[in-house]
Amino acid sequence: MRIAMLIVHLLGLAMGVGSSFALFFLGLSGSKLEKGQRQNFALHSFRLSTMGHIGLTMLIFSGLYLMTPYWNSLADRPLLIAKLCMVLLLTVSIVVISIYQKRARRGETESNLKKISALGKISLVFGIIIVLLAVLNFR
């Protein structure tokens, strides 16, 4: 069962962090468009964030299972605590981004797209830090 959950965890990682990278580069591409086209492009790229949500969900559920042998020794693993805190921060930022996406679809597009862009970059950094902490902790 552990191998299956590790596979699910790594697929979730690929989907979650991969969608963050994809959205970052789509944002760079979209920034070269005219304002109206840029907003339309950004609104359509939100579909990709669904893949990130699914990946994050896979990561969290498989991660809870994979953490089973480490809960008792958690106090002795500061990198693991830091990783779990970063996962929590990433989850909160994704939820906030989702709220801004809904608002952007309802018509408050420009101001919410700016917030989404900033939070998206922060979320990407969180994802990279999580991967680095995982590698350092489980090497």
Q: What is the distance of C-alpha 89 from the center of its chain?
A: 10
Domain assignment of residue 120, given as a range:
2-138
* Band of pLDDT at residue 7, cut at 50, 70 and 90: very high
Rounded distance between C-alpha atoms, residue 78 and residue 74, angstroms: 8
Provide the whole-model pTM: 0.88
pLDDT of residue 36: 83
Q: 60, 130 in Cβ contact below 8 A?
A: no
Judged against a pLDDT cut of 90, whether residue 43 lies above it is answered with no
* Band of pLDDT at residue 45, cut at 50, 70 and 90: confident
pLDDT of residue 57: 95
- Overall domain count for the chain: 1
pLDDT of residue 60: 94
pLDDT of residue 12: 93
Q: 38, 128 in Cβ contact below 8 A?
A: no
